C-alpha cells in the first residue's frame, strides 16, 4: 500500500496584525515579507518583531515597508493634546516615542517629532532639546527644515526671537508659495507659523501674531499639539482685542 500523503501543516497562528517587508537581498531576489507579526519595540537601530517562534531583532536599515496601526497610547495622547490635557498627554506621547522611535510609520514619527514641542509648552526646555536631537538622529531624512523648526521653537521659548525668526522666515515664505502640500509639510509649516506668531508677539506686533497663529489653525493643521497651542494664543489675543484677520 502506498504511504498516505502527508497532511498539510497548518500555518502558524498570527501573533499580531503587523506587516513588514524587507529590502531584497539582491536586485533580482524577491523581498521577504512577514505578516501577522507584532512589532514589539525599537531600540539600538533594531526593531524587535514577534512571531509564533519568538522575538527576533531586525536592523531598521533592512526594512523597506512597515504597516502597523497606531497604539492606543498614541490615540489617547492625541485626544489629550486636543483637549489641552498636556500633563496627561506628555507621558503617553513620550512612551510611544521612546518605544517606537525610528520606525518608519507616520504615527511613530509624529510622536517623536511632537514630543519636543509638548515639552517646550511645559517649560521643560532641556528635555525638549534632547527630544529634538533624538528625533533628528532617528529620522535623518526628515530634512534640515525639520531641524531648523525645532531649533527655532527652542529659541522662541528662550525669548531669542531674532534667532527664531532667522530660522523659520525662509520656511514660511516657501509655504505661502506652494499650491499643494504633503501631510509632513503641513505639520512643518504649521509649526513654523506658530513660531512666527511667537516672534511677532515678542516684537509686540499682535495683529501679525494673530495672522500667523490663524495660518497654523486654518491652513497647516496636521500637527495637533501645535494647532492646540496656536488656538490658545488666538483666544488670548482675542481677549486683548486683537481681531481675527
What average pLDDT does this structure show over 24-30?
91
Task: Grade residue 60 by pLDDT with cuts at 50, 70 and 90.
Answer: very high
pLDDT at 7 over 80: no
Residue 202, classed as helix, strand or coil, is: helix
Q: What is the pLDDT of residues 147-201, one digit of tens each?
A: 889 899 999 999 999 999 999 999 999 998 888 888 888 989 999 999 999 999 9
Which pLDDT does position 206 carry in this prediction? 97
What average pLDDT does this structure show over 44-56?
95
What average pLDDT does this structure show over 51-61?
95
pLDDT at 204 over 70: yes
Scanning the structure block, which residue is given the C-alpha cell 506668531?
Answer: 197
Furthest-apart CA atoms within the chain: distance in Å:
96
Which pLDDT does position 143 carry in this prediction? 65
| Beta-sheet strands, E only, within the chain | 18-22, 33-43, 46-51, 54-59, 63-67
pLDDT at 128 over 70: yes
Which pLDDT does position 5 carry in this prediction? 46
H or E segment and range at residue 187: helix 183-202
What average pLDDT does this structure show over 43-70?
96
Q: What is the pLDDT of residues 85-127, one digit of tens each?
A: 889 999 999 999 999 999 999 999 989 988 988 898 888 999 9
Using alpha carbons, list the distances in angstroms from residue 145 to 30, 68, 130, 190: 36, 27, 18, 13
Task: Grade residue 207 by pLDDT with cuts at 50, 70 and 90.
Answer: very high
Which pLDDT does position 196 carry in this prediction? 97
- The answer to whether the pTM exceeds 0.75 is yes
Cell of 91: 507621558
pLDDT at 4 over 80: no
207's CB contacts (< 8 A; 6+ apart) are 242, 243, 245
Residue 30, classed as helix, strand or coil, is: coil
Which pLDDT does position 42 carry in this prediction? 97
Amino acid at each position: 500500500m502506498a504511504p498516505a500523503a502527508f497532511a498539510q501543516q497548518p500555518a502558524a497562528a498570527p501573533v499580531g496584525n503587523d506587516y513588514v517587508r524587507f529590502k531584497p537581498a539582491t536586485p533580482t531576489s524577491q523581498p521577504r515579507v512577514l505578516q501577522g507579526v507584532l512589532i514589539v519595540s525599537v531600540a539600538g537601530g533594531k526593531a524587535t518583531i514577534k512571531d509564533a517562534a519568538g522575538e527576533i531583532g531586525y536592523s531598521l536599515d533592512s526594512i523597506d515597508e512597515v504597516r502597523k496601526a497606531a497604539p492606543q497610547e498614541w490615540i489617547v495622547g492625541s485626544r489629550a493634546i486636543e483637549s489641552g490635557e498636556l500633563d496627561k498627554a506628555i507621558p503617553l506621547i513620550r512612551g510611544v516615542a521612546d518605544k517606537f522611535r525610528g520606525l518608519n510609520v507616520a504615527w511613530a514619527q509624529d510622536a517623536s517629532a511632537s514630543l519636543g514641542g509638548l515639552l517646550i509648552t511645559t517649560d521643560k526646555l532641556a528635555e525638549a532639546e534632547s527630544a529634538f536631537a533624538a528625533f533628528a538622529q532617528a529620522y535623518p531624512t526628515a530634512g534640515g527644515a525639520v531641524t531648523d523648526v525645532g531649533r527655532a521653537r527652542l529659541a522662541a521659548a528662550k525669548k531669542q526671537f531674532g534667532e527664531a525668526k532667522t530660522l523659520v522666515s525662509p520656511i514660511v515664505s516657501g509655504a505661502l508659495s506652494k499650491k499643494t502640500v504633503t501631510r509632513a509639510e503641513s505639520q512643518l509649516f504649521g509649526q513654523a507659523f506658530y513660531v512666527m506668531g511667537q516672534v511677532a508677539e515678542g516684537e509686540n506686533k499682535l495683529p501679525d501674531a494673530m495672522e500667523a497663529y490663524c495660518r497654523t489653525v486654518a491652513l497647516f493643521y496636521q500637527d495637533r499639539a501645535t494647532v492646540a497651542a496656536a488656538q490658545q494664543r488666538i483666544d488670548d489675543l482675542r481677549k486683548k482685542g486683537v481681531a481675527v484677520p
